[in-house]
Structure 1
Amino acid sequence: MFKSVEKNINFPAQEERILKFWEEKDIFKKTDEQRAGCPEYVFYDGPPGTNGIPHIGHMMQSALKDLWPRYKIMRGFHVIRKAGWDTHGLPIELTAERELKLTSKRDILSYGEERFIEYCRSTVFRYKDAWEKAIRRIGRFLDMDDPYMTLTNDYIQSDWYLLKLAWDRKLEPDRVELQGKNVSPRFLYKDYRIMPYCARCGTALSNFEVAEGYQDVQDLTLTAKFPVAGEANLFFAAWTTTAWTLLSNVALAVGPEIEYVAVRLGEDVDGGKAGETIIFAKERLQAYREQLEPCEIVWSKKGADLKGIKYQPLWDWQKATKAHKVVVDDYVTTEDGTGIVHLALYGDDDFRIIRREGLPLVQNVDSHGYCTQTTDQFAGRYFKEETLDV
């Protein structure tokens, strides 16, 4: 039945002979027909995008996606192996932007949304033939004659149908756990959350898109002094690696069990004047002592004792109702900085605490990365501008 294997076998040629045999005998179709009427095993092929040439990573995934359906078929199941093409997403849009020499979301709007969409559609299947050839070459059994494509109206309408089911609460039991409460909400609702965001593209990013372009960068850090309300020359010191977020500060967080000290300066130093008293974690005193000398500790308190203390915002235009007070949370540590965390709505933990404390969501950077008009002297400047002299 089988030809004997040559001693010095040419593996690529052997593979080509097997592929030719499968194609001539229509083996893929026959394996499908053999299992007609058998129990169904549902296989969804997460579709690749066709806006680039497939690489070894794609082929490895494709081989694994081929392995499992083959195994289930040998176990007596019928498996529909339908190809799919992902025709939406940022990579496709970025390709179109480069070719059209567009550099921002504003450029796209000026070019025309419908024109831009049509251009994206024209680029989607540019590498479809290369993908089909690569999938066939690795011997994967996949129906590429009748694929599903995310740009078709049928596919888009199926998405809207599922969204309607979520809106009508037909996907799950009536009551669910939401933010610690047993409630009966719609499964589709509007709320805020922290997401990776690209100011250039003017859109939120997926974790996958962030991971692809992730890199370590050097950034300036600073320690800001927040005057305690109603107290002369008394300040909280908070350290940050993102100076621009100070524009949206609404609170300071301390650790409940961390010991904090108030240190009075004996003479003028860089960032402080003689007679000023600065509050930070006792464990961080050594890191700042050289900069603060001569100085003396005037009192020591647990973070829990500082809860609720009001402080003055850094700029007059920041004054907001129920904002600018000390809050307590276990996520604060003394690993670096001052042991006091300034809170703005841009971080996951910051956002969680802000919502818990009922503090305002202050957004002082627009969707393109520029400081809003409410920021007075910073208005219209890019948030990462090195000369943004916060």
Structure 2
Amino acid sequence: LTGYVKDIVPRYRTMRGYKVDRRFGWDTHGLPAELEVQRQLAITDKAQIEEMGIEKFNAACRASVLKYTNEWQAYVTRQARWVDFENDYKTLDPGFMESVIWAFKQLWDKGLAYEGNRVLPYCWNDETPLSSHELRMDDDVYQSRQDPAITVGFQVSTGDLAGAYLLIWTTTPWTLPSNQAVAVHPDVTYV
């Protein structure tokens, strides 16, 4: 479906008389490339990559990604997409990376980028954050699981809140028998 959209919009603009560069692009970064090479080299954790050497691992990733060039050209041509394979771009090329950094700098200078904090899915095996695409790409990258969780109510016995319950949620319910107290901060509003 994405290939269809990547073709139909530029094709329409070309047919309307506009000059549209239709360079084919190779996404050569990220976890998919790394996981493929880890499988090829029987690497199971980040320490083995570091032992091998980052430069050697990166070279193996480049070779692996480019190994499928002919298959991609045949597949895309079979889809009847109008693309230029001779002047393609690869996300591993320094010129491409520099253009992305340049574009981000333009957004930053215009005040259209912001810094924030948020929780990201994380691959403990590779010690890297995961994109939403990476979460869906492979069964062994990220698996939903049910963690044990429990909410317990502790009744307040004295003070202004006597008779009220403190609700405590934990993902380690097996530690509850050893809990001796519930601690709260006097200046924090709990809801």
Do Structure 1 and Structure 2 share a fold, with TM-score over 0.5?
yes
Distance 1:312 1:324 in 2: 12
Give the drift of 1:204: 0.8
Residue 146 (structure 1) shift? 0.7
Kindly state the Cα deviation for residue 205 of structure 1 after the two structures are TM-superposed.
0.7
In structure 2, the residue matched to 1:116 is 57
Equivalent residue for 1:90? Answer: 31
Aligned mates of 2:152, 2:32 — CA distance in 1: 39
The CA deviation at 1:160 is 2.5
For the structure 1 residues 76 and 193, does the alpha-carbon distance in structure 2 shift closer, same or farther, using more than 3 Å as the test?
same
The runs of 5 or more residues in structure 2 that have no matched partner are: none
Q: Determine if contact 1:149/1:155 at 8 Å carries over to the other structure.
A: yes
The alignment's TM-score, normalised by the length of structure 1, stands at 0.40
* C-alpha distance after superposition, 1:85-107 (max 9, x if no partner): 01101010011112222212222
The structure with the larger Rg is: 1
* Residues 40-63 of structure 1: per-residue CA shift (max 9 Å, x gap): xxxxxxxxxxxxxxxxxxxx4323
Deviation at 1:109, TM superposition (A): 2.0
Paired with 1:154 and 1:140, the residues of 2 have a C-alpha distance of: 25
Correspondent of 2:150 among 209, 222, 225: 222
Cα distance change on mapping 1:70 and 1:239 into 2, 3 Å? same
* 1:130-149 correspondence runs (5 A): 130-149=71-90
* Alpha carbons of structure 1 residues 197 and 130: separation in structure 2 relative to 1, 3 Å: same
The question of whether the paired residues in 1 share the 8 Å contact of 2:155 and 2:166 is answered with: yes
1:312 aligns with 2:175: no
Please name the residue that 1:238 is paired with. 168
CA separation in 1, counterparts of 2:149 and 2:51? 37
Contact 1:312 1:324 survives alignment (8 Å): no
Residues 225, 236 of structure 1: 8 Å contact kept: yes
Q: Distance in 2 between matches of 1:230 and 1:122?
A: 69
State how 1:42-81 maps to structure 2 within 5 Å. 60-81=1-22
Cα separation, 2, equivalents of 1:194 and 1:83 = 34
CA distance 1:218–1:159, shift in 2 (3 Å): closer
* Pairs aligned (count): 181
DSSP 3-state at the match of 1:164:
helix
Give a deviation string over 1:90-146, Cα, whole Å, max 9, x none: 010011112222212222222222221111112111111001011112221110111
Alignment map for 1:367-386 (pairs within 5 Å): none
- Relative distance call for 1:163 and 1:61 in structure 2 (3 A) is closer
Report the AA paired with residue 80 of structure 1. Answer: D
Q: RMSD of the TM alignment (CA)?
A: 3.4
Structure 2 residue identity aligned to 1:72: R
Displacement of 1:70 in angstroms is 2.1
Q: 1:138/1:87 Cα in 2 relative to 1: closer, same or farther (>3 Å)?
A: same
Q: Deviations over 1:275-295 (max 9, x none)?
A: xxxxxxxxxxxxxxxxxxxxx
Alignment match of 1:200 (pick from 125, 129, 151): 125
Write the distance in 2 (CA, Å) between the matches of 1:111 and 1:226.
Answer: 53
Q: CA deviation at 1:166?
A: 4.0
User: SS where residue 327 of structure 1 aligns?
Assistant: coil
In 2, are the aligned partners of 1:227 and 1:233 still within 8 Å (CA)? yes
The Cα offsets for residues 304-335 of structure 1, whole Å up to 9 and x where unpaired, read as xxxxxxx517xxxxxxxx5895522xxxxxxx
Corresponding letter in the other structure for 1:116: F
Secondary structure of 2:190's partner?
strand
Tell me the distance in 1 between the aligned counterparts of 2:156 and 2:56.
55
Aligned residue type for 1:312: A
Q: What displacement does 1:234 show?
A: 8.0
Over 6 Å off, 4+ runs: 229-234
Indicate conservation of the 8 Å contact 2:45/2:125, yes or no.
yes
**TM-score w.r.t. structure 2 length?**
0.76
Question: Judging changes above 3 Å, is the alpha-carbon distance between structure 1 residues 104 and 74 closer, same or farther for their aligned structure 2 residues?
Answer: same
1:206 is aligned with what amino acid?
S
Shift of 1:147: 0.2
RCO higher in structure (CA 8 A, sep ≥6) = 2
Give the Cα–Cα distance (whole angstroms) in 2 for the partners of residues 227 and 194 of structure 1. Answer: 32
Q: 1:95 to 1:226 in 2, by over 3 A?
A: farther
Can you list the C-alpha shifts for 1:167-187, whole angstroms capped at 9, x where unaligned? 4x2465xxxxxxxxxxxxxx3
- The one-letter code of the counterpart of 1:192 is N
Cα distance change of structure 1 residues 229 and 79 upon mapping to structure 2, 3 Å threshold:
farther
Equivalent in 129, 152, 170 of residue 70 of structure 2: 129
Decide whether the 8 Å contact of 1:196 with 1:206 is kept in 2: yes
Whether the 8 Å CA contact 1:93–1:120 is kept in 2: the answer is yes
Tell me: CA distance 1:141–1:327, structure 2 relative to 1, closer, same or farther (3 Å).
same
